[in-house]
Amino acid sequence: MAKRFYDLTVAGCTRTLPIINLNETLAIAGFVMLGDVELCECCARDLAKKIPQETDIIMTAETKGIPLAAALARQIGMPYYVTARKSVKAYMEDPIWVEDESITTMGKQRLYLMNTDIERIEGRNVLLLDDVISTGGSMTALRSLAEKAGGHVIGQAAVLAEGSAVKREDIIFLAELPLFAAE
């Protein structure tokens, strides 16, 4: 059970986030949009005002970016978005993949796209989307996967930028999320 908390306000919504140790020196505020309809809708509304207008398709990674991608697609009138999966499912034909490593996932993992998603991306302007950008590892993997599928990445967006990511000028985000010393 968390003993420390951080109050975050983003897109007009305030949430109290537990501060969780990742290792002996670093802790993060646990930001989870899954199941929070109000937060997803409000963040999507505000992100829709900031993303490139020439966006043809939104691409996110399983899992936490999915409800945000769905809400953002609705906001901008897009009938589809693409989800990079963390494992190959029986229905996935001719998948392509790249390796991914993020601070919230233990070790390396792979991200996969199936043939129908590749067709949605190929030759199109792709907006990469996630809940939080921290080290940029997940965005790097998504970019590689989108490019492998023949897409042109025109933007990287997230609800929050964490740590040194707040200084990046190549990402779109709504609010900053600090890092914390582990206790």
Domains plus CATH for the chain? 36-176 (3.40.50.2020)
pLDDT at position 2 is 74
pLDDT value at 117 more than 90? yes
Spell out the alpha helix ranges (H) of the chain: 37-48, 66-76, 115-121, 137-148
Q: Among 62, 16, 36, 68, which Cα is nearest to 173's?
A: 68
The SS3 call for residue 146 is: helix
Mean pLDDT for 61-88 is: 96
Q: How confident is the model at residue 24 (pLDDT cuts 50, 70, 90)?
A: very high
Q: Cis check for the bond before 63: say yes or no (omega within 30 of 0).
A: yes
What is the pTM for the complete model shown? 0.93
Supply 101's token pair.
Answer: 């490593």
Q: What does the alpha-carbon distance between residue 88 and residue 112 come to, in Å, rounded to a whole number?
A: 7
3-class SS of residue 139:
helix
The pLDDT tens digits of the residues spanning 134-166 come to 989 999 999 999 999 999 999 999 999 999 999
- Integer Cα distance of 37 and 145 in angstroms: 28
